[in-house]
Structure 1
């Protein structure tokens, strides 16, 4: 039997719940392979999933953490080839992306602010690739290639991990180099002209000392949305990736793994477009219907699931991701010393249509960005399995981001964005340009440790402690210019006041409209802070297959700086420098859990209940001014996420297995009295705090300065989320014919930082099926994703400026295809 065949045995079952196993079946390897095919050994044979969630190999059922594990075979068979697709099997996980840079991973509704990315803050969910921390979620949007398993840890992680995270961590482990020659190729063809090819090869270079693994993939797919303005399909896929690993076993106690990867994505992507309109408090003549009529504009369709757009700006989402790492493991006898040294980069080159309509309002709005990061982690972990185990670590992280932002207003901008006489003069805003230089420097250092003490048989006390230092500095400089037949100036933070003072009357009003639309500003925010945090877990082995635990964690997320522009102050010629920084989040987390297996480990049921409170929660807000396109960061007083979740799987026989996972999450703002108002209360005449306002949707009415949304739900999180599925198989010839199904359902959720009547995304359910035949070295199957062609939105947003236009990003329609994979 080849090692490729054996590796298939070491993957988890169809269920992402912890019922699958890394086999320790006593049967001969060949017999086990023939029986197991490319599914894991069933749990009743005594196998267990082995994970490294606590930075050591151990059985997942023994780990007192809410954890889900999905193996490489499941990822390949279900087509869950990236985080967006993977989340459908993980009810507690939410992944949102309007484009790769504007992506967020949340767990239990917590992690990152909902909205466009602000580089000046940390992410609350850590993302690790072969133990290397990835500093930006945008740099984690690659397709999975040659993956052994994905571990998803829920709840704060900081006493075992290099980078502190408040909501959880995602660990991706790729397949390691092998000293037994092996190879695998895979080809997929599907509708929308899908072509996907993957290949991997591994084997020894020098006997049992040096081994190599090389993996590569190419994917291309036509877009699912038709642009009538350019006669092309958008939301295309175009990716290429390469990964190489070299394992050097210096001796029995020391091994080194050198790894390098490169990933290029260059799709024509991504768009949000007309979904509906809603009444705001802007003057009726300045809301969407009247503005569109004045400019004789109509969208190509008012049914977003016709999948037709007319966006007139260039579109692209090119990103290049790569890096190199060296992982060393040195067995010192009583303990193992691990070193993880890594350098990574991310080059983001976008093109967007940020006005979301086929009019030249904002003809350019994009933020090309280049990120580089270096990290060094050292860990010392005890090797014994006695009464006391420990992990001690140190972590250093340095990151730089350079961004070249630009925004250009077009010929329709004056009419769309302004009022009065200036609205009728296209030259007031036509060609108005903001050129932004943005720099970010982030340094983090930490010492962390975790003990596992067993004072009594089966009873474990596991305290952890972390000392952390963060330092962030930034630079933001926006120069605003206009050069057309009527207006000619370059405004900077230094001269804008003088330019304003040099005007009077109508000219001053025009100049104020221009710099309110795109404001020149320059500032250099700074943040630094020390923090001590920790956790303690008590666990008890009630029986060999029943484990209970309780955890308390006091965690934090580092403070941040605003790097997307600041709101204007009362003079309208400067910015509010009090909003440069945001305070750290302070987290109190409680969790209890039970991990159980019954019926000779055929049935696995794991459950957890949690209660998480965060003070000074970092939220994305805006002041409803058109100059703040991306929003800025502020602290909400307090949020809370509480609920329960379960993972259940049942494998009564080799021929049949099912799983059913679920999460109930009650995530709310507990105290957020100065929040931005939803669109139905925005756009009117501003009133002082506490002043008289008009009912929501009153055209030309009075809008509150801010809104109290305490008690309302956090965005992006469904109260209920479920996933289920299974597989049945029957021997045919020297293999098995099989039918697999995976489904999920989530209840409605808010898609706006402040809940709005216009931006709720309705509940929806998705179903995926696959039918095929496989043996140890060959798998041929057809697949359908979104079997019932469900129409649903991944995101809903509002157009800047309180016009009442609601735009959305639809999920993929039904896709289908055929996949053939062959191992050698």
Structure 2
């Protein structure tokens, strides 16, 4: 692994900034008198109009651009360290999941996104909905603020927001020339450069150009090839034109492009779980007996995941892009403001990876080259003025098309490792060498919606809100694959059937259409000018999904057609909140309590019947319930020192899930449906509670009452910023700490897929020279805390669990300049 000459870099940077500071004009001695003595009012657009955060009766967390910069938060994963209710999981950009209050995208340990199932958390940038969760894996670029709206937002945001929404607002062009730039240099070859420039192009047109580039060496060392895997290399560009002939009209043309091209992403040995399969068909036995089949016996390069060692033997690379153009127009015509947002976006994906994650040639190719194109148009009208009656209404149209080409090829060890010796004894070792699946998938959907929300002030202090949205969606998909390669076999022979147990050709179409209302109602009471309480009910809707990754096989090894389409998801949430300002505007405290019931929760689950490809597919969980309490606190404790703290407590359960997938520890190919029946023999050497098999449905496992996957009971964060005037500038301190309790990362609640809790600390210290120059030394993961960010169950249900370890501590230096 290449080591960065960090100390030399810091010395050179400090020397350069010291020289610059010596030529800087002296600081105004009275400037510190202008240091704010109250917290700034935070403006949000959570209800599609600009409002003070403390006056909005919605649970929303806001992270402003300066806070992002000061905390070195550059992507959604790092944002989740500042917003406790937000959870982010990503085995690689395509397989990205984010949830709010434990609800939303559910890939988790499955690590296999499905093009036909959409997220339950809407991801918006400058008012434009991003249809693929993968776009949230790219770095932020020149951001003004991020709003995380918690709970159903179906009325005004609408598209797939049953669990909440992430709304990102970029910095606008300015008519006053300005610019900023920074470069960061750190350990493990870390280099990040970003900057923006803005100013007038004429009396009515202003422009802004922003750019960002990040690279870092890999943090997993491949002992087989000598390479460092999971490297980072990405860039992002954003250009804007603002047309503003007068104060009534504001038109923004925005274009952006993000690209990630690096040797990423893989995982390494975490642990081995034990199933009820025979010892020879579990990971220790399979590894030891390789020698009898012409391969060296296998031992992982390390059994400590935090040694960060791998030995994958297939190529590893990611090439993905995201970009688009939008035209945003706001026209104040007196009594109302008219808004139009027109957008086109695309997402392109290609990858090479080792799906078995070890140095045994089981699966040599696993790719799904894909491209998504989307178009959207939104029209809104919003009332102006401070009268007792106000409203927002509009129309929305969205369409997207996704084309993919799944490719999977097995290697020389696939037959031994994956083919059941009970069902297909005596198969030749080279039977599946080069055997592969090649296919095409096509998904297209159209969405139409009409919405409106009205607010009425019954008194100066009591305001009621009612909102309603009706959404109609039409989805169509086609999936087709062929198989070829491997040892030639006679159709219908035992050997041919053995190959088909790994992959069999599939061809099917699926469709779903229909509509449903969503909406909300609440009452807000302003007890004093600085204290408001509210109570509300929200109902969210997400249309049904299609399985666009191949159907799971039934007990007869045939595609299960019934799994091609899943039902609509609905979310009903009761919420009560309290927002307050204290200490003469120097602190705020916001609290919210909620109870959510989700019907037909859409999730990706894994078939436990198959022993070859771990086929994941979308499915409905009949009912999920989550209840909790959240809080946000901010205070300017004394001049220059700001403290922020947030917490989220959540209790989520499968309130009705009698036919769930079988957890690893109870998988048994000799049992009906592949899952151990009730009351197993007492001699079973598995330390766990009694299994919860469903005798009416062979193979089903009763998950009712068990915790919802991916949800920590407790999450909290605390951070502080201190600006202390010294000489001609200011000394800057920042620290933030995020702590999370343990959680299970798999829908089945297997004892082997639990992820331990952890606490993570980031910090920086710097010096600002006359408001134009700054140098900082920063550390992410300051105390080098080891934790797992994602895990995966190995192909074939061998029991091997792979983990994605946290990034090690990163220490670096940043130079900033602005004018």
**Mapped partners of 2:813, 2:469: distance in 1:** 49
- Which residue in 1 is equivalent to 2:469? 466
Secondary structure at the aligned position of 2:416 is classed as helix
What 5-or-longer segments of structure 2 have no aligned partner?
1-27, 291-296
Secondary structure at the aligned position of 1:300 is classed as coil
- Which residue in 2 is equivalent to 1:20? none
The 10-residue stretch of structure 1 (733-742 or 298-307) with the greater mean CA deviation from structure 2? 733-742
Can you list the C-alpha shifts for 1:162-186, whole angstroms capped at 9, x where unaligned? 4241011111111100101111111
**Mapped partners of 1:337, 1:430: distance in 2:** 62
CA contact (8 A) 1:467 1:533 kept: yes
Equivalent of residue 142 in structure 1, options 138, 159, 174: 138
Can you list the C-alpha shifts for 1:409-451, whole angstroms capped at 9, x where unaligned? 1000111112436565222111110012111001101001111
- Which residue in 2 is equivalent to 1:562? 547
- Which residue in 1 is equivalent to 2:508? 523
CA contact (8 A) 1:324 1:344 kept: yes
In the TM superposition, residue 802 of structure 1 has moved relative to its aligned partner by 2.1
Judged with a 3 Å threshold, the aligned counterparts in structure 2 of structure 1 residues 761 and 61 are, in CA distance, closer, same or farther, namely same
Q: TM-score, normalised by structure 1?
A: 0.91
- Which residue in 2 is equivalent to 1:361? 362
**Mapped partners of 1:31, 1:71: distance in 2:** 29
**Mapped partners of 2:360, 2:33: distance in 1:** 61
Equivalent of residue 711 in structure 2, options 710, 717, 735: 717
CA contact (8 A) 2:457 2:464 kept: yes
Q: What are the within-5 Å matches in structure 2 for residues 232-271 of structure 1?
A: 232-271=227-266
In the TM superposition, residue 360 of structure 1 has moved relative to its aligned partner by 0.6
**Mapped partners of 1:150, 1:52: distance in 2:** 10
In the TM superposition, residue 199 of structure 1 has moved relative to its aligned partner by 1.5
Can you list the C-alpha shifts for 1:29-84, whole angstroms capped at 9, x where unaligned? x99986678xxx4535xx41011111111100101111111111111111110000
- Which residue in 2 is equivalent to 1:652? 637
**Mapped partners of 2:304, 2:678: distance in 1:** 38
Equivalent of residue 93 in structure 2, options 91, 100, 118: 100
The 10-residue stretch of structure 1 (634-643 or 767-776) with the greater mean CA deviation from structure 2? 767-776
Judged with a 3 Å threshold, the aligned counterparts in structure 2 of structure 1 residues 256 and 34 are, in CA distance, closer, same or farther, namely farther
Can you list the C-alpha shifts for 1:291-341, whole angstroms capped at 9, x where unaligned? 111121111111111111000111112111110010111111100110000
2:574 pairs with 1:590: yes
Can you list the C-alpha shifts for 1:111-141, whole angstroms capped at 9, x where unaligned? 1123321111221111111111100110222
**Mapped partners of 2:635, 2:30: distance in 1:** 20
Equivalent of residue 665 in structure 1, options 616, 634, 650: 650
CA contact (8 A) 1:280 1:699 kept: no
Equivalent of residue 451 in structure 2, options 432, 445, 448: 448
**Mapped partners of 1:423, 1:810: distance in 2:** 39
Q: What are the within-5 Å matches in structure 2 for residues 111-260 of structure 1?
A: 111-114=104-107, 115=110, 116-207=112-203, 209-260=204-255
CA contact (8 A) 2:256 2:324 kept: yes
In the TM superposition, residue 148 of structure 1 has moved relative to its aligned partner by 0.6
Judged with a 3 Å threshold, the aligned counterparts in structure 2 of structure 1 residues 752 and 697 are, in CA distance, closer, same or farther, namely farther
Equivalent of residue 537 in structure 1, options 514, 517, 522: 522
2:680 pairs with 1:694: yes
- Aligned CA RMSD, in angstroms, stands at 2.0
- Which residue in 2 is equivalent to 1:10? none
- Which residue in 1 is equivalent to 2:318? 317
Q: TM-score, normalised by structure 2?
A: 0.91
Secondary structure at the aligned position of 1:206 is classed as coil
The 10-residue stretch of structure 1 (336-345 or 289-298) with the greater mean CA deviation from structure 2? 289-298
**Mapped partners of 1:586, 1:54: distance in 2:** 21
Q: What are the within-5 Å matches in structure 2 for residues 10-159 of structure 1?
A: 41-43=36-38, 47-114=40-107, 115=110, 116-159=112-155
Equivalent of residue 684 in structure 1, options 648, 659, 669: 669
- Which residue in 2 is equivalent to 1:14? none
Figure out how many residues of one structure are paired with residues of the other and give that number.
Answer: 770
- Which residue in 1 is equivalent to 2:750? 756
2:802 pairs with 1:807: yes
CA contact (8 A) 1:280 1:697 kept: no
CA contact (8 A) 2:119 2:160 kept: no
**Mapped partners of 1:252, 1:634: distance in 2:** 50
Secondary structure at the aligned position of 1:186 is classed as strand
In the TM superposition, residue 680 of structure 1 has moved relative to its aligned partner by 0.5
2:736 pairs with 1:742: yes
Can you list the C-alpha shifts for 1:786-824, whole angstroms capped at 9, x where unaligned? 111111001122113221111111111111101111001
In the TM superposition, residue 691 of structure 1 has moved relative to its aligned partner by 5.2
CA contact (8 A) 1:365 1:407 kept: yes
**Mapped partners of 1:150, 1:335: distance in 2:** 26
- Which residue in 1 is equivalent to 2:394? 393
Q: What are the within-5 Å matches in structure 2 for residues 285-684 of structure 1?
A: 285-295=280-290, 296-420=297-421, 425-483=428-486, 486-487=487-488, 499-500=491-492, 508-572=493-557, 574-624=558-608, 625-684=610-669
Secondary structure at the aligned position of 2:144 is classed as strand
In the TM superposition, residue 255 of structure 1 has moved relative to its aligned partner by 2.4
In the TM superposition, residue 143 of structure 1 has moved relative to its aligned partner by 0.8
Judged with a 3 Å threshold, the aligned counterparts in structure 2 of structure 1 residues 235 and 691 are, in CA distance, closer, same or farther, namely closer
Can you list the C-alpha shifts for 1:747-797, whole angstroms capped at 9, x where unaligned? 000011111111111111001111111242222111111111111001122
The runs of at least 4 consecutive aligned structure 1 residues that moved more than 4 Å come to 30-37, 421-424, 688-693, 695-704
CA contact (8 A) 1:678 1:754 kept: yes
CA contact (8 A) 1:343 1:374 kept: yes
CA contact (8 A) 2:447 2:474 kept: yes
Judged with a 3 Å threshold, the aligned counterparts in structure 2 of structure 1 residues 35 and 211 are, in CA distance, closer, same or farther, namely farther
Secondary structure at the aligned position of 1:113 is classed as coil
Judged with a 3 Å threshold, the aligned counterparts in structure 2 of structure 1 residues 36 and 673 are, in CA distance, closer, same or farther, namely farther
**Mapped partners of 1:523, 1:306: distance in 2:** 45
What 5-or-longer segments of structure 1 have no aligned partner?
1-29, 490-498, 501-507
CA contact (8 A) 1:395 1:446 kept: yes
**Mapped partners of 1:345, 1:243: distance in 2:** 15
Can you list the C-alpha shifts for 1:488-530, whole angstroms capped at 9, x where unaligned? 68xxxxxxxxx33xxxxxxx22222211111211110100011
CA contact (8 A) 2:668 2:676 kept: no
Secondary structure at the aligned position of 2:262 is classed as coil
In the TM superposition, residue 643 of structure 1 has moved relative to its aligned partner by 0.4
The 10-residue stretch of structure 1 (285-294 or 687-696) with the greater mean CA deviation from structure 2? 687-696
Equivalent of residue 278 in structure 1, options 266, 273, 277: 273
In the TM superposition, residue 264 of structure 1 has moved relative to its aligned partner by 1.0
CA contact (8 A) 2:642 2:721 kept: yes
In the TM superposition, residue 696 of structure 1 has moved relative to its aligned partner by 10
Judged with a 3 Å threshold, the aligned counterparts in structure 2 of structure 1 residues 328 and 301 are, in CA distance, closer, same or farther, namely same
The 10-residue stretch of structure 1 (733-742 or 783-792) with the greater mean CA deviation from structure 2? 733-742
In the TM superposition, residue 693 of structure 1 has moved relative to its aligned partner by 6.3
Can you list the C-alpha shifts for 1:248-300, whole angstroms capped at 9, x where unaligned? 11444222111101111112111122111121111111100011111211111
CA contact (8 A) 1:676 1:707 kept: yes
Judged with a 3 Å threshold, the aligned counterparts in structure 2 of structure 1 residues 327 and 401 are, in CA distance, closer, same or farther, namely same
- Which residue in 1 is equivalent to 2:10? none
CA contact (8 A) 1:623 1:676 kept: yes
Judged with a 3 Å threshold, the aligned counterparts in structure 2 of structure 1 residues 715 and 510 are, in CA distance, closer, same or farther, namely same
In the TM superposition, residue 622 of structure 1 has moved relative to its aligned partner by 2.2
**Mapped partners of 2:606, 2:799: distance in 1:** 16
In the TM superposition, residue 727 of structure 1 has moved relative to its aligned partner by 2.3
CA contact (8 A) 1:602 1:650 kept: yes
Judged with a 3 Å threshold, the aligned counterparts in structure 2 of structure 1 residues 783 and 513 are, in CA distance, closer, same or farther, namely same
CA contact (8 A) 2:656 2:705 kept: yes
CA contact (8 A) 1:481 1:488 kept: no
Secondary structure at the aligned position of 1:524 is classed as strand
**Mapped partners of 1:95, 1:87: distance in 2:** 6
